Chain A
Amino acid sequence: MSFFQMTSPVAARRMFLGQSGLVLSGAAVALLAGRDALAAKTGGATGNDVQILNTALAAELEAIAAYQAGAESKLLEKSVLDLALSFQGHHKAHADLLAKTVAKLGGHAVAAKASYGFPLEQLKSQADVLRFAAKLEQGAVSAYLGAVPLFGNRDLSKAAASILGDEAMHWAVLRQALGETPVPSAFMS
Chain B
Amino acid sequence: MSSGRWLLAAAALAAAAHAWAVPDAVRGEQVYARCLACHALAVDRVGPRHCGLFGRLAGSVPGFTYSEAMKKSKIVWNDKTLDRFLAKPLAMVPGTAMTYDGVPDAAERADLIAYLKRANEAPPCSGRARE
Distance, CA A139 to CA B32, complexed state (A)? 9
The reply to whether B34 and A51 contact each other, CB–CB distance below 8 Å, is no
Q: Is the CB of A55 within 8 A of B90?
A: no
User: Using an 8 Å CB-CB cutoff, how does the interface string of A76-111 with B read, 1 for contact, 0 for none?
Assistant: 000000000000000000000000000000000000
Q: Are A55 and B97 within 8 A (Cβ)?
A: yes
Q: Given known contacts A58-B38, A116-B45, what 18 new A-B pairs fall within 8 Å (CB)?
A: A51-B67, A51-B97, A55-B97, A58-B46, A59-B37, A59-B46, A62-B45, A62-B46, A135-B36, A136-B36, A138-B34, A138-B36, A139-B34, A140-B37, A142-B33, A143-B38, A146-B34, A150-B90
Interface size of B by CB at 8 A reads 19
Contact A142 B34 (CB under 8 A): yes
Residue of B90, B97, B99, B101 most packed against chain A (CB within 10 A)? B99
Taking the closest CB of chain A, its distance from the CB of B13, in whole angstroms, is 25
* A139 with B37: CB separation less than 8 A: yes
Question: Once the chains bind, are A48 and B99 in contact (CB under 8 Å)?
Answer: yes
A92 to chain B, nearest CB (A): 16
Does B23 interact with chain A (Cβ within 8 Å)?
no
- Chain B residues with CB under 8 A of A139: 33-38
Give the docked Cα–Cα distance between A145 and B38 (Å). Answer: 13
Question: When A62-B45, A62-B46 are in contact, do A52 and B34 touch as well, CB less than 8 Å?
Answer: no
The reply to whether B33 and A52 contact each other, CB–CB distance below 8 Å, is no
B100 touches which one: A58, A63, A146 (CB < 8 A)?
A: A146
Q: Which residues of A contact B33 (CB under 8 A)?
A: 135, 138-139, 142
A44 is an interface residue with CB less than 8 A from chain B: no
Q: Is A149 an interface residue (CB 8 A)?
A: yes
B8 CB–A CB distance under 8 Å: no
Q: Is A147 an interface residue (CB 8 A)?
A: yes
- Top 3 nearest A-B pairs (CB, nearest first) are A139-B37, A139-B36, A142-B34
Contact code string A99-143 (vs B, CB < 8 Å = 1, else 0): 000000000000000001100000000000000000110111011
Residues in A with CB closer than 8 Å to B90 are 48, 150
In this assembly, does B14 line the interface, its C-beta being within 8 Å of a C-beta of chain A? no
| Number of interchain pairs (Cβ within 8 Å) | 65
Determine the main DSSP class of A at the interface with B. helix
User: How far does the Cβ of A83 sit from chain B's closest Cβ, in whole Å?
Assistant: 19
The 30 listed contacts between A and B (C-beta, < 8 Å) are A48-B90, A48-B95, A48-B99, A51-B95, A52-B99, A55-B38, A55-B99, A56-B99, A58-B46, A59-B38, A117-B43, A117-B44, A136-B36, A138-B33, A138-B36, A139-B35, A139-B36, A139-B37, A139-B38, A142-B34, A142-B35, A142-B37, A143-B34, A145-B101, A146-B34, A146-B100, A147-B99, A147-B101, A150-B90, A189-B34
Kindly state the separation between the CA atoms of A51 and B94 in the bound complex, as whole angstroms.
Answer: 11
List A130-187 residues whose CB lies under 8 Å from chain B: 135-136, 138-140, 142-143, 145-150
Q: How far apart sit A58 and B66, CA to CA, in the bound complex (Å)?
A: 13
Asked whether A51 lies within 8 Å of B36 as measured between CB atoms, the reply is no
